[in-house]
Amino acid sequence: MEESKVVEEKFSPPIRMIFVTNSEVKEALARYQGRILGVLSYSAVDPGLPAEGLVHVWVPLEVIGAEVCHEIWISESPVNVRRHGEFNYSADGDYLFGCYVYREHGLEELDDRAYSIYSGIFELLDSQGYSALLRVWNYFPLINGAGRSIERYREFNVGRHEAFYAKGRAIVEGNVPAACALGTDRGYLVIGFLAGREKGIAIENPRQVNAYGYPGEFGPRSPTFSRGMLVGDALLISGTASIVGSKTVHPEDIMGQLDETLENLRMVDSMARGKGFRERELRGLYLNVYLRRVQDLGAVQKKLEADFGIDVKVCYMRADICRSDLLIEIEAFWFPVSEGDE
């Protein structure tokens, strides 16, 4: 019999994430049953995971070179799955993972919708005692398209920003989550979020203006996220792109943008080490790579394999990036590796 590709992971941090393929997901769900905080499934078609007893987020993005990539968040403690209004969520006593899916009709009023969703997230977190928002995943269609009066991503930023203030969250360094925001081809607004009873340590990048401090040329309200977040022994790096200061650099040059993106990732890693993040093995590193153009895959993949080797787990996806002149965005999750890890 073929040896299983999914092995029981012995890990020290209170939470951990793994990537599995579609052929591995059932085994992984069974192996970690009762300890799964949530699953994000990246796939062009609904992967059809069980709805009962699982917080599952289907992100309708094409995985390049594969059918599905499942991102499974695991706790070392038993997890309880519940529902609160429009939100499915799970909690283990220290961390809460939740999701929200809205099937857009007409794609209008994204600022109002973002305000409503984020207000609901904060109300849920406060009601359950997990007030520290640590990481958020935002996906919605036509991210670079026209909204009612401004670009849809900028509309989204208005609603998100206003919800932070309305619910008593000051938008200052150390008080905003790591995050990503990508554009899909389908009419679903999908948000996943991870929160804790205790705050993480927010990480910023001195090569870049803090995202929540962008000048007005990038919209009436700035994006509300930090460049990274230390959560226990794990480093969660936000969606990172070819931006220096607040400006896009190397427009239309995929390799120039990739080099700049990697430099920004290295800087966030360096800043995290200054705040207590310890050296990690590369096999504990997971990357989500979002490409605006599928034809850029070969060159990007070759560069990443040359830089990181084959131990790093990478999921490549076709997505629209939050700025129309950006061709690539990378987010990273870095966990300690213990004896028994695959």
pLDDT for 323-337, tens place per residue? Answer: 999 999 999 999 988
**Structural domain count of the chain:** 1
pLDDT at 8: 43
Closest listed residue to residue 262, CA positions, set 308, 297, 214, 298: 308
**What are 246-274's pLDDT values in tens digits?**
999 999 999 999 999 999 999 999 999 99
Active-site option among 9, 71, 162, 329? 329
pLDDT given at position 188: 86
Catalytic residue flag (residue 329): yes
Q: Does this model's pTM top 0.75?
A: yes
Average pLDDT over residues 61-74: 94
- The answer to whether position 2 is within a domain reads no
pLDDT of residue 338: 64
In a domain, 10, yes or no: no
- Percent above pLDDT 90 for the chain: 83
> Do 153 and 144 contact (CB within 8 A), yes or no?
yes
Q: Reply yes or no on whether the pLDDT at 341 is more than 70.
A: no
Domain that holds residue 160: 15-334
- What pLDDT, on the 0 to 100 scale, is given for residue 11? 41
Q: Amino acid identity of 326?
A: L
Is pLDDT at 4 greater than 80 in this prediction? no
Query: Which CATH number covers residue 196?
Result: 3.30.1330.40
Cα 92 to Cα 179, 211, 220, 224, 301: the distances in Å are: 22, 31, 38, 26, 37
Q: What angle (nearest 5°) sits at the alpha carbon of residue 42, between those of residues 330 and 256? A: 20
